[in-house]
Amino acid sequence: MRALGPAEVRTLPGAFGDPFRALDVASGVTPILSGFPYFYVRGAPPANVGYFLDGVRVPYLFHFGLGPGVIHPELVATTELHKGGYPAAYGRYAGGIVSGTTTAPRDRVRGSALVRAFDAGALAEAPFADGKGSALVAGRYSYTAALFSLLQSDTELDYRDYQARVSYALSPRDTVSLLGFGAYDLAAERGDRAPVPGGRRVLFASEFHRADLRWDRRLAGGGRARVAATVGLDRTRVEARRFASDVVTGARAELEQPLSDIATLRAGADVWIDAYASDPLERFADDDDVVLRQQKVFATRVDFATGARADVVVRPTRELEVVPGVRADVYGSAGERAFAVDPRLAGRVAVTKGLRIVHAYGLASQPPSSPVALPAVSIARLEGGLQRAFQTSAGVEVDLPYDLTAGAGVFHNAFWSMNDALGSSQRELLEIERNQELFDKSQGSALGLELEVRRKLSKRVTGLASYTLSRSTRALNGRRFLAAFDRPHVLNAVLSVDLGRGFRAGTRVVAYSGVPVSTVAPRFAEERIATPPSRTPTFVRLDVRLEKRWRIGQTGYISVVAEGLNATLSREVTGYLCAPVIARAGSTVTPPACVADAVGPIAVPSLGVSGGF
C-alpha cells in the first residue's frame, strides 16, 4: 500500500508529527520495545534496515532512544518503508529499506517553527535570483541539557539536528543543489560524577554529517539523470573511551529514461569509501575476551562498496506492470573482498478497477553489522562473510466503499549468514557486545500474513489499521528456535476525527504479542530453577493526540498539539527472572516462581505549539 502522506503523518498519534516515526504503524513491522524506533521488518533485525535520504545512506534517522527524527518534518516530502523485494536502487542491506525524499525547492518564502516541552525546531526557505535559486535551513535543538542543569542533575542529555539546502537552476533542464544535514546526540555524566572537576564522562555520543552535491538534468523523452558526490563524517563515542570515526566519501550516478511507451529504464552506479579511525577498548579496560572482540568492531581500516544496478519498469498494458532488475556490488574491508549479485522482480496486476495483485521477490546482501546501527561502528574485515536474504511477498490491494483501501499479503523471507545477535540470543544489548554472539552467524526464516485497511484523510473520520501474523525463527549451532523478537501478532489501529472548528482528535492502539522466553538450564545437578512462561504477556498501549489548528491566510497556520505516547502508562514485560535454589540430590525443593521483568512505563507526553506560513 502507498506510504503515508505528510498530512496523515501529522495526525498520527504517538508519531509526534515525525514522518520517520510513523513508519512502525505499517504491517510487517515488529517493535523491539514500545516507543523505540528500532524494529524488525519481516523478520530482519534493526541493523539490517537501511536508511536513505535522497539516496544518501545515513546511519540513522532518529535521535537516540525515544528521540524524534533527525530531519525536519517539513523538509520530508515522502517516506517509504520497503519491506522486501524492493527496487534495484536499494541495496547493501538484507532487511527493509527506509527511504525519504526531500521536498522540491519552493518558489515562495516559507517558514515554520515548533516549540515543545523538550525541544524546538524551525525551518525557513526562500527563493533567490528571481526564483532560479532556493535556500533552506532547518534545525532542531533539544534543551533537555538545560532542563537537567536546572534540576541539578549530574546527567547530561542533548540532541540536535540541522539541514540546509541551496539549489540553483542553471537552465530549464539543469539544476545543481547542495544538501547538508546532520544530527548529534549526547548522554554524559558531569558534576559530581565527572572524572575530573568540570569534566565530562561520555556514556554515549554520536553524530553524523552529510553534504551531498548533485547535478540534476531533465532528459529528452521524459527522463532524468543525477550525478552526485557526497562527503560525510560519522563519529561515535561510547563509555570506556571507545571512539570511532568514519570519513565518508561517495559518488553516484542515476538515470531514469523511458525506452519506449511501455518500458522505462532505471539505472545507476555508485562507490562509497569509508575511512574508519578508532580507539578501541584499551588493554585491561575490560575483560580480555571483550577487549579482543571489541577491537574487531572499533578497528581502523578503509572499507568500500561499489556497484551498479538497473531495472526496467515494463507496462505492456495499463493493467500490468513488471519490474525486473539486478544489482551487483563489490565490498571491501581491510583487504577482505566480497561480491554479490542480487536479482529483483516485482509485479503488479490490476485484475479489476479496484483490485490489484502485487508480487515482489529479491535477493539482498549486506556486510556484517553490529546489533544496532551506530555511526562509524561496524564489524570489520567482512568477518563471517556477507549477510544474505531472499525476500518474497505476494498480496492484493482492494478499493472498498466509503473510501477505504485494504490490502492483504503474505511474505516469506529466508536469511543466511546473518548477524542477528538480538534475535538469536536473549541477552540485553549491553551484554551482547560482551559476548561472542556479537559475531555469531545465524540462519533465519520469517513467514507472515499482513493485513491493512485505511481511509482517506480527507474524510472527517479517518484511520487505518494494520495487523501482522508472523513467525520468525533462527538456526544457530545446529539448533532451530524462535527468534528472540518473534511476535506472532502485531496490531496497530488509528482513529482520527475532525471535530470541527480546527479541532482534531486521534487515538492509536498498539498491541503485540510478547516475546518467547527460554528456560534456563541448571548449571549443575544440584541446582533447581523454575520454568518461566513460554512467552511474555501481550503488550497494549494507547496513544492520544488532540490538536487545535487556526488557519491564517492562504497558507499560514498556528496549531497547539497535546500528544501522549503510552497514555495508558502500560509497562512492558521483557522477560522473567528465575532465581535458582540449590538442593542436595534427591531432596524435593521447589524453586521460587519466576518474576516478570518489566520496564517502564515508557511514556512520552508532549505539548507543543507550531506555526508556519
Partner 1 sequence: MVRRLGFGCVALLAAAAACIPDDDAPRLGSVAFTFGASRLTTAGFNARTMADGWTVTVTRVLLSYDSVTVSETTDGDASIPGLVISDRKCAYRGRGARRHVVFDPRFGNLQTLNGMEPGECPDVGFVLEAPGVDTEPGLGATGADVAELAADPPAVALFEARASRRGKSVEVKLRFDRARSPSAFTACQVATGVGLSRGVVVRAGERQQLSFQFLAESLFRDDIGGAFLRFDPWERADVSFGDGDGVVTMSDLDAVPLTAVRGGPYTLASGSRRGTFGDFVRQQLGYAFGYLDTGFCSPSASASR
Chain contacts with partner 1 (rule: CB under 8 A): 122, 124, 126, 135, 137, 139-141, 160-162, 164, 182, 184, 186, 188, 193-196, 199-202, 205-207, 209, 235-237, 239-241, 243, 282-290, 434, 523-527, 579-585
Name which of 190 and 327 has its Cβ closer to partner 1: 190
Query: Which residues are CB-neighbours of 602 under 8 A, at least 6 positions away?
Result: 33, 34, 35, 36, 66, 565, 566, 572
- Answer whether 378's CB lies under 8 Å from 370's CB: yes
Name which of 164 and 558 has its Cβ closer to partner 1: 164
Cell numbers representing residue 354 in the block: 479496484
The amino acid occupying position 351 is V
The C-alpha cell 546473518 sits at 418
Name which of 141 and 439 has its Cβ closer to partner 1: 141
Cβ 191 to partner 1 shortest distance, Å: 12
Question: What is the DSSP code string of 253-271?
Answer: EEEEEE-SSSEEEEEEEEE
Name which of 232 and 407 has its Cβ closer to partner 1: 232
Cβ 529 to partner 1 shortest distance, Å: 9
Cβ 213 to partner 1 shortest distance, Å: 17
Cβ 212 to partner 1 shortest distance, Å: 15
Name which of 49 and 137 has its Cβ closer to partner 1: 137
Distance in angstroms (rounded) separating the CA atoms of residues 13 and 56: 29
Cβ 53 to partner 1 shortest distance, Å: 16
Alpha helices (H) in 393-534, listed in sequence order: 421-424, 429-432
DSSP conformation class of 480: E
Cβ 284 to partner 1 shortest distance, Å: 4
Distance in angstroms (rounded) separating the CA atoms of residues 488 and 472: 8
Query: Which residues are CB-neighbours of 434 under 8 A, at least 6 positions away?
Result: 286, 287, 290, 293
Name which of 240 and 451 has its Cβ closer to partner 1: 240
Cβ 423 to partner 1 shortest distance, Å: 23
Cβ 69 to partner 1 shortest distance, Å: 15
Cell numbers representing residue 320 in the block: 500490468
DSSP conformation class of 300: -
Cell numbers representing residue 75 in the block: 523538509
The C-alpha cell 577491537 sits at 295
Name which of 120 and 449 has its Cβ closer to partner 1: 120
Distance in angstroms (rounded) separating the CA atoms of residues 474 and 445: 6
CA distances from 553 to 122, 265, 502, 557, 558 (A): 20, 43, 14, 8, 11
Cβ 155 to partner 1 shortest distance, Å: 14
Name which of 210 and 454 has its Cβ closer to partner 1: 210
Cell numbers representing residue 81 in the block: 518503508
Peptide bond connecting 605 to the previous residue in cis, omega within 30 degrees of 0: no
The C-alpha cell 518564502 sits at 109
Name which of 150 and 585 has its Cβ closer to partner 1: 585
